[in-house]
Amino acid sequence: MPSPQERLLGRIALASGMITQEQLDQCLALQEDGKSARPLGDLLLEKGYITREQQDRLLAMQKRHLAEAAAPVPRMEGRDEPVFGRMLLRRGLVSADQLNECLRQQERDLERGRHRNLGQVMVEKGYLTREQVKAVLAEQQKIIVICNGCGARFNATSGAKLPKCPACGGVLAAPPWSVSLPVVDTIEPNGETTGLIGKVLGGFKLLEFAGRSAKGTLYKAQHPTLDRPMAAKIIPVTPENRELLVRYVQAAKALATLSHPNVLRVHAAGMDARFCYVVTDFIHGRPLSVFLDRGGGGVPPQEALGYARSAARGMAAAHARKILHRDLTPDNVLLSVGREVFVKDFCFARRFEMESDGGGRRILHGTPAYLAPELWHGAQPDVRSDLYALGVTLYALLAGRKPFDSMKVSDLMRQHLSTPPAPLRVGDPLTEALASIVEKLLAKDPRDRYASADDLIQDLGRAERGEAPRALTEPGGAESRPADRAAVPASGNFACANCGTHQKIGARRCVRCHVEICRDCQRQVASVNGLCAECLSTSSVSALRAVPPPPSPKRLPSPSPERGRGAAARRAEATRRLRQRRLRGS
């Protein structure tokens, strides 16, 4: 059972924006069920929810809060004086020695029959200005409240009835400790948020609170000249996310010159000591993540194809500007009420930490369930890692669930590196074509994926037209792919040498005897180096290793005189076996 100290640590992590409520509940449930006796901080670190530096900060904050709760409060005249003194100390406006000096002066004045507030004494001694005293007094009328649902933090009027959270409708409550926290806005008793409303950022005036996500708070904003609403995302700047936000703002500014129907248009971006802001078009819609984990499978294949092609077009436009997404997930693909698709939040890849093989810690960036295999080894992201994330997204749209899923980051890493995803259900030619495209996108080796988003777009177009995509007719794809087989030409008749089927999509030739095998028989054979079942059964392991790379399917080199006779004999034997199978079948 989690101790009060453990729950305090969890509340601090939640209020500081380091974790979500769902992540905290998962770790607390492990402790409550007795499945883990490890401290909460260690569990959060093990799952990659926080970094080592964040854990150290949390423990230091927890220790400070516990010490403050146990420390005696200095006796001061006036009910608000202890709060005033503590606020000054926490904000670093005065030192403890200066505070005690002023408290002693206040006591001496009382003995002489003269009462002065603590703020007056500090102004007279030159420790504070009148403006600083007014600011702290105004702040005393506010308390910090936290939503128990989404973790959003707001300033609220002390003693007033608290409304529901404007972001998710959750319950707002004051935390059981006194601490200065970065808040996203000020909420009034009627539920409105007004802290930033009316302010101008980058020439755009913030009009009203519009929602909140894990990446920031959203406001409706007014364009200085255009008569249409804009969306302003405001993200508090912390030491942990400063580097990430600098890259995010740089990418947003680069995208501000890009006008593409599948990229969320950026109008302004900037950053100061407190906030990062990005102003975009205001789109009424929802992310593609609404189609995941809802039961009953994914979306229809034609619909999934359209979403993937639109997202690929947006990615291709950004890649042409040398801008990578770095964290493409269904949450970052927005579907408008008019069924338009917009890719958003380029270069906003959150960092997470996990143990390395040597026992140390490694810092990675992105969402673990969508992270390409090479990125787990520290490789630099490129176009192909973006396409891998798009492949995970397309798989999730078709299946209604992610291909790799686990609560432990280490398990996710192993799945991405070595585990093939569960095969998609194939019930029609379009789904089969999309399944082959997903296989190619999710190839463990980036060299086996599409070289560009434009190549993917062309293959999706072939699938939509009922043509065989390149993923079916060229090498590359999942681990069971016939990597060394030559593709069967598109023209001419075809009959599988193993089962006799005329289904030509995905058929390939054996690199030894050149018989043509359909895709289903290739999977049953689990071929090695592109051999058919007959050649595989008669070859030794050493011979398999010596098989040369296959020739190009378009230009087959002429065999040497020594090898030509053997190849011709093998082709004749394969033809004889095929005829025998057909005779037995008739």
Dihedral sign computed on CA atoms, order 247, 250, 252, 257: negative
How large is the average pLDDT for residues 100-106? Answer: 86
Domain harbouring 382, CATH code: 1.10.510.10
Burial label, 145 (beta-carbon count in 10 A; 0-12, 13-18, 19+): buried
Least confident of 135-144, 267-276, 532-541: 532-541
Same domain, 507 and 369: no
Mean pLDDT of the chain: 76
pLDDT at 291: 85
pLDDT at 477: 40
Same domain, 209 and 270: yes
Measured at the CA of 348, the angle between CA 346 and CA 352, to 5 degrees, comes to: 145
Which tokens is 142 given? 């506010």
Confidence bin at 579 (pLDDT 50/70/90): low
Rg (CA), the chain: 32
Q: Whose structure tokens read 């973006």?
A: 386
Q: Does residue 108 surpass a pLDDT of 90?
A: no
The beta-strand segments (E) located in 260-314 are 266-271, 275-281, 285-287
Dist. CA 492–CA 501, nearest whole Å: 14
Contact of 229 with 297, CB cutoff 8 Å: no
pLDDT at 549: 40
The string of pLDDT tens digits covering residues 421-438 is 988 887 788 888 899 999
pLDDT at 397: 94
Confidence bin at 339 (pLDDT 50/70/90): very high
pLDDT at 53: 80
The CB density around residue 193, as the number of other CB atoms within 10 Å, is: 24
Instruction: Give domain status of residue 460, yes or no.
Output: yes
Pick from 159-168, 234-243, 249-258, 473-482 the range whose average pLDDT is largest: 249-258
Least confident of 89-98, 200-209, 500-509, 527-536: 527-536
How large is the average pLDDT for residues 149-159? Answer: 63
The beta-strand segments (E) located in 344-443 are 351-355, 361-365
The string of pLDDT tens digits covering residues 392-416 is 999 999 999 999 988 888 899 999 9
Higher pLDDT, residue 582 or 203: 203
CA atoms within 13 A on the CB side of 48: 23
pLDDT at 357: 56
Instruction: Give domain status of residue 101, yes or no.
Output: no
Q: Does residue 310 surpass a pLDDT of 50?
A: yes
Q: Does residue 511 surpass a pLDDT of 80?
A: no
Strands 153-157 and 185-186: parallel
- Ramachandran angles phi, psi of 335, nearest 5°: -110, 115
Instruction: Give domain status of residue 271, yes or no.
Output: yes
Phi-psi region of 488 (alpha: psi -120 to 50; beta: other; left: phi over 0): beta
Contact of 305 with 295, CB cutoff 8 Å: no
Instruction: Give domain status of residue 100, yes or no.
Output: no
Higher pLDDT, residue 342 or 71: 342
Dist. CA 42–CA 44, nearest whole Å: 5
Q: Whose structure tokens read 């040398």?
A: 322
Same domain, 360 and 468: yes
Report DSSP state, residue 290.
Answer: G
Final residue of a domain: which of 437, 472, 507?
472
| 3-class DSSP assignment, residue 301 | helix
Q: Does residue 366 surpass a pLDDT of 80?
A: yes
Instruction: Give domain status of residue 57, yes or no.
Output: yes
pLDDT at 68: 53
Q: Whose structure tokens read 């969890």?
A: 10
Instruction: Give domain status of residue 316, yes or no.
Output: yes
Same domain, 396 and 465: yes
Same domain, 308 and 254: no
Order of strands, sheet of 185-186, starting from the edge strand that comes earlier in the sequence: 172-173, 142-147, 153-157, 185-186
pLDDT at 239: 75
Same domain, 11 and 47: yes
Q: Does residue 156 surpass a pLDDT of 50?
A: yes
The CB density around residue 429, as the number of other CB atoms within 10 Å, is: 15
pLDDT at 335: 94
Q: What percent of the chain has pLDDT over 70?
A: 67
Dist. CA 448–CA 454, nearest whole Å: 15
Confidence bin at 168 (pLDDT 50/70/90): low
The string of pLDDT tens digits covering residues 1-56 is 678 788 888 878 776 667 877 788 888 888 877 766 788 888 888 888 888 888 88
Strands 216-222 and 333-336: unpaired
DSSP string spanning 123-150?
A: HHHTSS-HHHHHHHHHHHTEEEEEETTT
Contact of 277 with 269, CB cutoff 8 Å: yes
How large is the average pLDDT for residues 319-327? Answer: 92
Domain that residue 43 falls in: 4-70
The string of pLDDT tens digits covering residues 528-574 is 446 676 665 554 333 333 334 444 434 334 344 444 445 455 555 65
Pick from 152-161, 356-365, 404-413 the range whose average pLDDT is largest: 404-413
Final residue of a domain: which of 440, 472, 504?
472
According to DSSP, the residues that pair with 343 across neighbouring strands are 263, 333
Q: What percent of the chain has pLDDT over 90?
A: 24
Same domain, 275 and 392: no
Dist. CA 356–CA 354, nearest whole Å: 7
Q: Does residue 72 surpass a pLDDT of 60?
A: no
Q: Does residue 225 surpass a pLDDT of 90?
A: no
pLDDT at 76: 37
Element (H, E) at 341: strand 341-343
How large is the average pLDDT for residues 277-282? Answer: 92
Contact of 307 with 333, CB cutoff 8 Å: yes
Instruction: Give domain status of residue 155, yes or no.
Output: no
Dist. CA 402–CA 327, nearest whole Å: 15
Contact of 143 with 156, CB cutoff 8 Å: yes
pLDDT at 527: 43
Same domain, 349 and 315: yes
Instruction: Give domain status of residue 151, yes or no.
Output: no
pLDDT at 542: 31
| 3-class DSSP assignment, residue 279 | strand
Alpha-carbon dihedral of residues 166, 168, 172, 174, nearest 10 degrees? -100
Confidence bin at 129 (pLDDT 50/70/90): confident
According to DSSP, the residues that pair with 512 across neighbouring strands are none
Final residue of a domain: which of 19, 53, 70?
70
The domain tally of the chain equals: 4
Same domain, 265 and 325: no
Q: Whose structure tokens read 């009060």?
A: 4
DSSP string spanning 358-383?
A: TSSEEEEES-GGG--HHHHTTPPP-H
Same domain, 232 and 358: no
Higher pLDDT, residue 140 or 322: 322
Q: Does residue 102 surpass a pLDDT of 50?
A: yes
Q: Does residue 80 surpass a pLDDT of 80?
A: no
Same domain, 417 and 305: yes
Domain harbouring 227, CATH code: 3.30.200.20
Alpha-carbon dihedral of residues 273, 233, 281, 247, nearest 10 degrees? 60
Q: Whose structure tokens read 């492949």?
A: 391
Q: Is the pTM of this model over 0.85?
A: no
The string of pLDDT tens digits covering residues 252-271 is 998 888 899 999 999 999 98
CA atoms within 13 A on the CB side of 142: 20
pLDDT at 121: 86
pLDDT at 580: 57
Same domain, 276 and 375: no
Dist. CA 154–CA 152, nearest whole Å: 7
